[in-house]
Amino acid sequence: MEERLQQIINRYNEIEHAMADPKTVSDQSLFKSLTKEHARLTPVVQKYNEYKRIKKEIDDTKTALKSEKDQEMLSLLEEEIPKLESKLYQIEGQITQMLLPQDPHEGKDIIIEIRAGTGGDEASLFVADLYRMYIRYADIKGWKFEHIDANQTELGGFKEIIFSISGAEAYSCLKFESGVHRVQRIPVTESGGRIHTSAVTVAVLPEAEESEVDINPDDIRIDVYRSSGHGGQSVNTTDSAVRITHIPTGIIVTCQDEKSQHKNRAKALRVLRARLFEKMERERMEKEVALRRSQIGSGDRSERIRTYNFPQSRVTDHRINLTIYDLESVLDGELDKIIIPLRENEMEKLLKASHV
């Protein structure tokens, strides 16, 4: 472990030296990348310095014991050693956790896509419920939110809604949300009072930097058209809506939320870049089966991850067999009741698989 820590110290010093170089400062992309890496390594370096300080205190105390003659002082020194060793053991555990394999997307902003699945209007209404849940959660966390695009229904639901969340731990917390979310409740359109089961899919995509995904202009086709809301209601009288087709993959992204064609195009490119990045990462992960087994689930959109049962006010996360009888607060944004146990479970699995 100490060898690995020394490598981190060396890299940390390299970064600090590079960040002080005017050439690095003038390269904004490089400087931003180094700043993120510096911020990620700083807690490890600080914790290791604390570890070395406590270890030195133990060594100094043991040395003092050998030469001390005063009985009262001897007793104090002997009492101090177990306390210091206990603290050292605690710090070792914290460092071990810090040295666990980091998700390569840690610290990234995210784009979330929620789509109605089986269940018709009821599924579309639940898309709106989840959308509100994530926005409330982002608000509680102090993260920034930006609406990108939506396809609204007559009843106030959404066939699809796309938005971004920016924050230091946005990806770390919300990466667990990818998958199928199932809802069981009596629909507002149901006169017989029967419980229906519907489903929506959630995709959490890490936002990719332009340097991470190179989109060849020759590989995309951009169409513009007049924006319209649900029911054919005109939103704009100009051709401001944008549809981008990535020809090699067949991925299509549309955006009509903004009145400006330029803004819609920029948002659509962000979504396209995130989808292409996810595709690249999914293909990479499929080649790393061992790594996938060490993580919670697969992040696959087809994997049923959670059930929201309204009659019983119950939320069940199927990956960790967690059931909470407080549906209202979860839908009101108190998602940490589920996300914290998911993160703890992931940590336990990584610790078991780690050789740190």
Given a contact cutoff of 8 angstroms between Cβ atoms, the answer to whether 170 and 155 are in contact is no
Domain ranges of the chain: 2-98, 110-348
Strand partners, 202: 114, 179
Indicate whether 295 pLDDT > 60.
Answer: no
pLDDT tier, 316 (very low <50, low <70, confident <90, very high otherwise): very high
User: What span, in angstroms and rounded, lies between the C-alpha atoms of 123 and 232?
Assistant: 21
Q: Which region, left, alpha or beta, applies to residue 68 given φ > 0 means left and ψ of -120 to 50 means alpha?
A: beta
Instruction: Tally Cβ neighbours within 10 Å of residue 346.
Output: 21
User: What span, in angstroms and rounded, lies between the C-alpha atoms of 121 and 151?
Assistant: 13
pLDDT at 354: 61
The amino acid occupying position 314 is R
The architecture (CATH level 2) of 110-348 comes to 2-Layer Sandwich (3.30)
Q: What is the pLDDT of residues 148-159, one digit of tens each?
A: 989 999 888 999
Q: Report how far Cα 319 is from the mean position of its chain's Cα atoms.
A: 17
Given a contact cutoff of 8 angstroms between Cβ atoms, the answer to whether 246 and 272 are in contact is yes
Given a contact cutoff of 8 angstroms between Cβ atoms, the answer to whether 126 and 117 are in contact is no
Comparing CA positions, the residue from 146, 274, 253 lying closest to residue 207 is 274
- Its sign, for the CA torsion 204, 251, 284, 201, is positive
Three-state DSSP at 255 gives strand
Mean pLDDT over the full length of the chain: 86
Mean pLDDT on 330-351: 90
Mean pLDDT on 134-141: 96
User: What span, in angstroms and rounded, lies between the C-alpha atoms of 187 and 255?
Assistant: 30
Residue with the two structure tokens 């998602």: 335
pLDDT at 239: 77
Number of H helices, E strands in the chain: 10, 11
pTM of the model: 0.67
In the 8-state DSSP scheme, what is residue 126? H
pLDDT at 347: 80
Q: What is the pLDDT of residues 241-256, one digit of tens each?
A: 999 999 999 999 999 8
CB-count exposure of residue 285 (10 Å: 0-12, 13-18, 19+): middle
**From 8-17, 100-109, 154-163, 191-200, the region with the lowest mean pLDDT:** 100-109
Q: What is the pLDDT of residues 220-274, one digit of tens each?
A: 999 988 876 544 444 555 678 999 999 999 999 999 888 888 899 999 999 999 9
HSE-CB for 347 with a 13 A CA cutoff: 14
